[in-house]
Amino acid sequence: MSKIVQAVRGTRDILPEEGSYWQFLERTTHEILSRARYQQIRTPIFEQTPLFERGIGEATDVVGKEMYTFTDRGDRSITLRPEGTAGVVRSYIENKLYATGGVQRLWYTGPMFRYERPQAGRQRQFHQIGVEVIGSPDPRADVETISIATTLLKSLGLQNLHLAINSVGDGADRQRYRDALVDYLAPFKDELDADSQDRLDRNPLRILDSKDERTQEIAQSAPSILDYLGDNSKRHFDRACELLTQLGITYAIDPRLVRGLDYYTHTAFEIQSDDLGAQATVCGGGRYDGLVEQLGGKATPAVGWAIGMERLIILLQKLDRDIEPSVDFFIVSKGDRAEAQALELSHGLRRAGFTVELDLSASAFGKQFRRADRSGAVACLVLGDAEAESNNVNVKWLATGEQETIARSDLLERPDEWRVRLKGEAEVGSP
Ligand code: ATP
Ligand code: MG
């Protein structure tokens, strides 16, 4: 026997048993985003490497250490996208989405790739859902995106989530703050973790979200960026906070929540879960008024967020809630004629809108009945030689065990009545 080729480290298969959680997440997302009139955009999974260097920034971990970059057969430097925003903004500029005027409300979903140390809630291929609102400088846009994130998480039934929010001001505010921060941190340089020492010159704001314990301790007493905001930035932040309060969305201000790069402006936010251990952040977002210009477009304000789907799936699985779509009929059959009729019946019932599982095993009725019980179906339809002969079908209601024999054509002639009966029986069957 030859050796088995295994999946690449940091990737995982999403097996059928997990599928219903993904579908529930995707269904709920589609519904909530379409209610808010966001439109889906699908951009390529790989892009030219400079897009991410300019669109995320060379001083970040993502670009500095985590990108899957390779040279293709045409000698181009290609990178598997580590996040969604850069590609969306590239597409916005390249396809002149601004030409229609007004605000673009976009969303995306799909796999992202980062070369990180794999652990629970952290993989090398993972999935995100993200939104980008491009073309509005209004704090209402910031709050709209946050409200959509919280509505989504709530609709999924998730609890123990906390929203943290901050402002990183504009370029001038940040320059002033950066100087004050470096002044504060410089005397501690030797005590900072290696990455943070490195960042002291290049990207000192990122030191604030270092995961190193001693660095965090030092950062606790660092000056707060909120004390360095100009009037315009202060107004934007106060307004966003006020609107969140008005919407009844609970938040905490965290002056250490930052984005390190120049094109991030004003609002930065994160949603964390108490139930995820070390990888607690499920949603990260904020305003990036400088990015469109940075990528070669006309200066255009924008705000967005990204949610890590694997982390939501972990949370959904912990809820232990029944999210399987219900099965209406499980069909068992035995004998040549009956088996053909059963196949035909399953075909007709599905076309009529029922959910139907057909047992293909041709095993003894007893075995098929046991599978029917495990299937979660509301009713079992039984076709044996006698039913095939008489053009009947036996209906067994699985919650009560009650049975009745009906004409096979009845199911397709009066589907609405059967739908009502199935619904009634499903309620009998539910705990
Ligand atoms: P972290 O601090 O956890 O590394 P990040 O700041 O790198 O997160 P973002 O780039 O803001 O994350 O991405 C948004 C969300 O995507 C994160 O909050 C998280 O839920 C998810 N995410 C990011 N990286 C990974 C990964 N390697 N595996 C799984 N999910 C991830
Ligand atoms: Mg990361």
Ligand 1 closest atom vs CA 128:
16
**Measured from the CB, is residue 114 less than 6 Å from ligand 1?**
yes
Cα torsion 372, 375, 378, 384 to 10°: value is -20
Closest CA to 272 of 294, 257, 260, 262: 257
Ligand 1 closest atom vs CA 82:
10
Smallest-distance ligand from the CA of 127: 1
Ligand 1 closest atom vs CA 114:
27
Smallest-distance ligand from the CA of 83: 1
Whether residue 202 has pLDDT greater than 90? no
Find the 335 Cα to ligand 1 centroid distance in Å.
Answer: 55
Per DSSP, what are the bridge partners of residue 281? 272
Token pair of 207, please? 């030191």
Q: Which residue has the tokens 């002639």?
A: 413
Ligand 1 closest atom vs CA 130:
14
The whole-angstrom separation of Cα 198 and Cα 217 is: 18
Portion of the chain with pLDDT greater than 70, in percent? 99
Judge contact between 112 and 87, C-beta under 8 A: no
Residue 20 CA to its chain's centroid (Å):
14
**Measured from the CB, is residue 372 less than 6 Å from ligand 1?**
no
**Measured from the CB, is residue 276 less than 6 Å from ligand 1?**
no
The whole-angstrom separation of Cα 197 and Cα 389 is: 83
Per DSSP, what are the bridge partners of residue 250? none
Q: pLDDT tens digits, residue range 389-401?
A: 999 999 999 999 9
Q: Rounded to two decimals, what is the model's pTM?
A: 0.91
Find the 308 Cα to ligand 1 centroid distance in Å.
Answer: 6
**Measured from the CB, is residue 130 less than 6 Å from ligand 1?**
no
Portion of the chain with pLDDT greater than 90, in percent? 89
Give the SS3 label for residue 33: helix
pLDDT bin (cut points 50, 70, 90) of residue 260 is low
Q: pLDDT tens digits, residue range 105-154?
A: 999 999 999 999 999 999 999 999 999 999 999 999 999 999 999 999 99
Judge contact between 301 and 287, C-beta under 8 A: yes
Q: pLDDT tens digits, residue range 325-384?
A: 789 999 999 999 999 999 999 999 999 999 999 999 999 999 999 999 999 999 999 999
The whole-angstrom separation of Cα 355 and Cα 378 is: 10
